Amino acid sequence: MFNKKEIIYLAITIFIVSLSIGFDDGSSSFSWSYWLNNFLVVIIMVAISFLAQQIGHKTVARMNGFDTEFAWWGTQSFSLMGFLGKTKHKPFPRTIHLFGKSYLIESFPLGLALCFLFTIVSNGQLFFLAVGQYHLLLKKSSRFGRRFVEITNYEEAKIALAGPMANIVLLILGKLFNSYGTFDTFILINAMLALFHMLPLPGLAGTKIYFGSRLLYVSSLVFMISMVVLVYTVSVIPMLFISLASLFIAGSLYYYYGYVK
């Protein structure tokens, strides 16, 4: 499902995100053995959560005749205009040579850099998890017979939304088995991954959903926020009911004021 380059990118991403979340183990006194045990648990949780997000993208993409390739969320220029793709002078992509081999670095991994910086500056109290994005790969042969050979805006929005929604599904599963707080960290990881990747920043899933279908973006974002707010306060059934009601109300209001009125 993942090619060699994706596996390398995913492994580095999972390690850095796990280091960020597991940096503060909550212990009053530092112990290497306790910290390492906690880090191993966190890295398993992060791996499950991040892989589920990317598998969500890939699954929906393949249902629509496409494929996705995971990449770091970053920029090809260190200026604001370059981040928005409006400059021709970009230091990336760049080829580096290590141990006799050449490696192509497509962009500066801004998300991972911010993730690490937030952790160090806050001593593990703050997180930045907008670290990954995907590139859409078109397989025209699998689009034969469809109305459009190229991807439509709504298809792009569905593919992008599948990632954060996979994290919300894991959040619900974690809530179901969280009687004694065992899965508090797992719930937190999936909540942050979902919300951070819904940010409307260039390259992130949130931007692709927003420009693909604003109605879908508004309603799904309200649903996710409701789930995250309620996950620690109510049981699963009321959480789902209230969140779905919020989705319906937000979607209806946006549709009325955006398309009817």
Stated as kind and residue range, the H or E segment containing 166 is helix 153-176
Say if residues 17 and 123 touch (Cβ distance below 8 Å): no
Q: In angstroms, how far is the first alpha carbon of the chain from the final one?
A: 46
Residue whose entry in the numeric block shows the structure tokens 């200026």: 79
pLDDT in tens, 193-207: 999 999 999 889 999
Q: What band does 107 get if pLDDT is binned at 50, 70 and 90?
A: confident
Q: How far apart are CA 156 and CA 214, in angstroms?
A: 12
For 37-72, write each residue's pLDDT tens digit: 999 999 999 999 999 999 999 999 988 888 899 999
Q: In whole angstroms, give the CA distance from residue 101 to residue 132.
A: 25
For 73-97, how does the pLDDT look when each residue is reduced to its tens digit (9 = 90+)?
887 665 555 555 565 556 666 666 6
- Per-position DSSP letters for 31-82, written without gaps between them: -HHHHHHHHHHHHHHHHHHHHHHHHHHHHHHHHTTEEEEEEE--BS-SSHHH
Task: Judge whether 169 and 48 are in contact, CB under 8 Å.
Answer: no
Q: Which residues are CB-contacts of 195 (< 8 A; sequence separation ≥ 6)?
A: 164, 224, 225, 228
- pLDDT value of position 261: 66
Chain segment 111-157, per-residue pLDDT in tens: 999 999 999 999 889 999 999 999 888 765 555 556 666 778 888 99
pLDDT class of 25 with cuts at 50, 70, 90:
confident
> Is it the case that residue 191 has pLDDT exceeding 80?
yes
Q: Which of 5-14, 80-89, 227-236 has the lowest mean pLDDT?
A: 80-89
Q: Is the bond into 164 cis (omega within 30 degrees of 0)?
A: no
Residue 230 has pLDDT above 90, yes or no: yes
What band does 28 get if pLDDT is binned at 50, 70 and 90? Answer: confident
Closest of 224, 186, 203, 208 to residue 60, by C-alpha: 208
Which of 196, 194, 197, 252 lies closest to 219, judged by CA? 252
Count of CB atoms situated within 10 Å of the CB of 252: 13
pTM equals 0.87
Per-residue confidence (pLDDT) for residue 246, from 0 to 100: 95
Q: Give the length of the chain.
A: 261
